[in-house]
Homo-oligomer: A and B are copies of this chain.
Amino acid sequence: MTDNSAEAAAPSRRALIGWGGAGLALGAVAAGGTVAMATAGDDADQAGAETGAAIAFHGDHQAGVSTPVQDRLHFAAFDVTTDDRAAFVQMLKDWTEAARKMTAGQAVGEGAYGGLAEAPPDDTGEALGLKPSRLTLTIGFGPSLFGKFGLQDQRPEALIDLPKFAGDNLDKNRSGGDLCIQACADDPQVAVHAIRNLARIGFGKVVIRWSQLGFGKTSSTTPEAQTPRNLMGFKDGTRNIAGTETDRLKKFVWVDEKDGPGWMAGGSYLVARRIRMHIETWDRTSLQEQEDIFGRDKGEGAPVGKAKERDEPFLKAMLPDAHVRLAHPDSNQGATILRRGYSFTDGTDGLGRLDAGLFFLAYQRDVREGFVRIQRNLAKDTLNEYIQHVGSAVFAVPPGVRGTDDWWGSTLLTEEA
């Protein structure tokens, strides 16, 4: 079975109609449009870029990692409040069922008005009539989860507690979490709706610890797309791993069976960092200094001394502490991560400065050989004068849900502790 392949997509498409009994088709069907099922992680990806399409939920890998990056993000970290393993497992099954429906553009359960008038609607309703919008929902398990439900021995070695890095100024209220859900969609209302409905299903079992809305993608995972710009005004993600680069995904992103533990095969590890930018200070910095700091020019995004964005960087032409040079695989024993970050703006702080920056999301096969190695090297980055890491979390992202009988976390939690 390949990643969210056409084979995986077909049942979902049928299901979109089949599940229509009491449920309500929220999306393209309700809106009178057509539903294009797309797949993640292979050449059929581009179909997923079609406006409003659905991304297949089932596959060897979870969608939302190598899937072409959607425009908007709602990310939520949860803490588990129950100590009843069976209740927790049931919630994961209920979440999976809801995720399957929402990613197909359908309402949760009996819908917003498909149930009894005397009961609260199963679905909160604000996504009725909206398209699937390429929604992906991706689950991750934090280190603290493995202190619960007898899971101690299942914790992957690669799921380390992140070390303290130079310059970290972490807010514990924006860090950690037993679980996470990454909701990406081209329509923010679809992403917000998904997190809200999962939180609601989880009532009494989990509670949201923190959440983050991202309004603009800062990395592309489709090589031919225009590279997005971060809030420093620079193109970001030029050399990112593309969803079509099967070899690099295998080498740097997906956990191999031999890496262990077995339940993580086909999964990945996610590092989330809330990076505040001191944009008012940055905005008073000269163009030359900005370009020196990055090691690329601002307009084209070409590496120092080169003409085009995608030209191979010549690292020695850059200042020793240029960001691109320090973050480059050649400066980090080959370390390579898949970035999926989003710009955020969360109002204004007490001094009238925009609370804005980059919500950095990176997927990798091993955190120790990916983010940790690169972030250690970035200790001397001149960019650090203008940014500060204020939130941090790490999650083990299990493999994909294989079919309609499977559920999120089944490889970890199927056997009784």
A346–B346 touching, CB < 8 Å: yes
Given A126-B229, A229-B129, A288-B117: A189 and B211 interface contact (C-beta under 8 Å): no
Whether A287 contacts B129 by the Cβ 8 Å rule is no
- Whether A376 is near chain B, meaning CB under 8 Å from some CB there, is no
A181 to B343, CA, bound (A): 21
Q: Is the CB of B112 within 8 A of A233?
A: yes
Interface size of A by CB at 8 A reads: 71
Whether the Cβ atoms of A286 and B112 lie closer than 8 Å is no
Name A126's contact: one of B203, B232, B284, B351 (CB within 8 Å).
B232
Q: Render A101-124 as a binary contact track against B, CB cut-off 8 A, 1 for contact.
A: 000000000001101111111011
The residue in chain B whose Cβ has the minimal distance to the Cβ of A117 is: B288
Say whether B347 contacts A126, CB under 8 Å: no
Instruction: Find the B residue at minimum CB distance from A230.
Output: B126
Q: Give the residue name and chain of the B residue nearest to A123 (CB).
A: B233
Q: Among A195, A231, A297, A345, which residue has the most Cβ atoms of chain B within 10 A? A: A345
Contacts A285-B120, A347-B346 given; indicate if A208 touches B352 (C-beta within 8 A): yes
Given A117-B286, A192-B345, A286-B118, A233–B354 Cβ distance below 8 Å? no
Is A279 at the interface (CB under 8 A from chain B)?
A: yes
6 sample A-B contacts, Cβ–Cβ < 8 Å, listed by A number: A112-B299, A121-B287, A126-B230, A126-B232, A200-B283, A207-B351
Interface residues of chain A, those whose CB is within 8 Å of chain B, are: 31, 72, 74, 76, 79, 112-113, 115-121, 123-129, 173, 187-189, 192, 195-196, 199-200, 203, 207-213, 215-216, 226, 229-234, 279-280, 283-288, 290-291, 297-299, 343, 345-348, 350-354, 356
Instruction: A112-B298, A211-B345 given; name 12 further pairs at CB < 8 Å.
Output: A113-B287, A113-B299, A116-B286, A118-B286, A118-B287, A119-B286, A120-B287, A128-B229, A128-B233, A196-B231, A211-B354, A213-B347
